[in-house]
Amino acid sequence: MTLEHNILDVQDFCVDYGYGESAVRAVSDVSFTLGASRVLGVAGESGSGKSTLVYGLTRLLRAPGVISDGEVTFTIGAEGDQRAFDLLAATEQDLRAIRWSHISIVLQSALSALNPMRRIGREFDEVLRTHDKNSSKESRHERAIELLAMVGLDADRLDRFPHELSGGQRQRIMIAMALALRPELVIMDEPTTALDVVTQREIVSELYELRRQLGFAMIFITHDLSLLVELADEIMVMYAGHIVERAAATDLYHAPRHPYTLGLMNSFPPLHGERKELSGIPGTPPDLKSLPAGCSFSPRCAYAMDICHSSKPPLVPVDETGRLAACWLHDPSHSHSVPVELARKHVRGVEAQ
């Protein structure tokens, strides 16, 4: 692939729920960039702000969610002919033009994401017609069949209502629909969480294959790190609205640097490799209304030191590779030694893909 530009550039992005005094910060100072055709995984427990982040970026937040700060630049087009959009300043009309043609989204529950009153075919037709008014009904129908074939479904599914299909079929339909207009960026908000492991597995490999063919960039949200390591180039772990760690997928998976990442990994059985005891993370995600002082994770952290309870660790590079983590353990001026689980060597050479 040639030199890639950044399709998405996010700086100091903040989302609040509510206004003024009662406002709760759900996403706090998040910055990242996403290269065209790259996959960014976002992991974290429920309530960590990962979904709020992407709804905010795509301006799909509903009241009382408000974007309170930040900059989001979305850039499309080949080299030399690039168009950049300031997503936070875009008008409703600009957004309508960008939505689905350039950025599409797949939600966790395909059953509720499909209009229960409509046949699948009509949903496809509507989205294709909206973005290409001159297309003929036949061509749209052809395209819908082609899209279904891409996710391994027969054309007769077009005549069905959502409630007549299985969970896996519905999610495949959502994925097919997300790809209908060949968008540059597809956002997947826990697309496999509501499915059984076998279907989950199938859909992940299909996504992998589709991405290889079509080359769209993807933000994949999940709480299952083992799933992400196969799909993502880079993984971002969120806790209480903050990014706590960000690194290349394999680095993060094989050598986590933040105690929370380690905890997340121990909460899921690995798809491959030896069996390990699942330890999970003690305690519950914090109440965003009353975050603990210092590091938000400190009350649940097995390695917490005095400073963790009083001062918030910045997201900084923790080694020569430039990977980021927000943890005092990696700051020599506060910590004498890093716990061995958080200091594993990188497995170089097995970089994703």
Partner 1 sequence: MRVILRRLGVYAFTAWVTITVNFILPRLMPGNPFDQIAAKLTGVVTAQELQAIKIQLGGDINQPMIEQYWHYLNQLAHFNLGVSITLSSPVSTILAGQIWWTVGLIGVAAVLSFLIGTVLGVVFGWMRGSRADNVIPVATFLQSVPYYFLGTVLIMAFASHWHFFPLENAYDLSITPGWHWDFISSLLRHSELPILSIVLSSLAGWMLGMRNMMVTIAGEDFVLMAVAKGLPRRRVIWHAARSAILPSIANFTLAIGLLVSGSLLVEQIFNYPGVGNLILEAVGGEDYPLIQGIFLLITFTVLGASFLADILYYVLDPRIRTATAH
Residues of this chain that bind partner 1 (CB under 8 A):
58, 60, 62-63, 92, 95-101, 104-105, 107, 109, 112-117, 119, 126-127, 130-131, 161, 163-164
Yes or no: say if 266 and 278 are a contact pair by the CB < 8 Å rule.
yes
Q: Which is nearer to partner 1, 98 or 158 (CB)?
A: 98
Nearest distance, CB of residue 43 and partner 1, angstroms: 22
Q: Tokens 């100072």: give the residue.
A: 29
Yes or no: say if 181 and 241 are a contact pair by the CB < 8 Å rule.
no
Q: How far apart are CA 33 and CA 50, in angstroms?
A: 15
Task: Write the CB contacts of 71 (distance below 8 Å, at least 6 apart in sequence).
Answer: 9, 10, 11, 12, 13, 86, 88
Q: Which is nearer to partner 1, 131 or 254 (CB)?
A: 131
Q: What radius of gyration, in Å, describes the C-alpha atoms of the chain?
A: 21
Q: Beta strand 217-222 with 39-43: parallel, antiparallel or unpaired?
A: parallel
Q: Which is nearer to partner 1, 162 or 286 (CB)?
A: 162
Nearest distance, CB of residue 261 and partner 1, angstroms: 29
Q: Which is nearer to partner 1, 96 or 344 (CB)?
A: 96
Nearest distance, CB of residue 52 and partner 1, angstroms: 13
* DSSP calls for 11-79: EEEEEEESSGGG-EEEEEEEEEEEETT-EEEEE--TTSSHHHHHHHHTT---TTEEEEEEEEEEEESST
Q: Which is nearer to partner 1, 89 or 117 (CB)?
A: 117
What SS3 class is residue 308? helix
Per-residue tokens: 131: 């973005």
Q: Which is nearer to partner 1, 186 or 225 (CB)?
A: 186
Q: Tokens 């900059």: give the residue.
A: 71
Q: Which is nearer to partner 1, 48 or 101 (CB)?
A: 101
* DSSP calls for 174-222: HHHHHTTT--SEEEEESTTTTS-HHHHHHHHHHHHHHHHHH--EEEEEE
Nearest distance, CB of residue 107 and partner 1, angstroms: 5
Nearest distance, CB of residue 2 and partner 1, angstroms: 29
Q: Which is nearer to partner 1, 19 or 208 (CB)?
A: 19
Per-residue tokens: 234: 């880079």
Nearest distance, CB of residue 115 and partner 1, angstroms: 5
Nearest distance, CB of residue 277 and partner 1, angstroms: 37
The count of residues in the chain is 353
Nearest distance, CB of residue 225 and partner 1, angstroms: 25
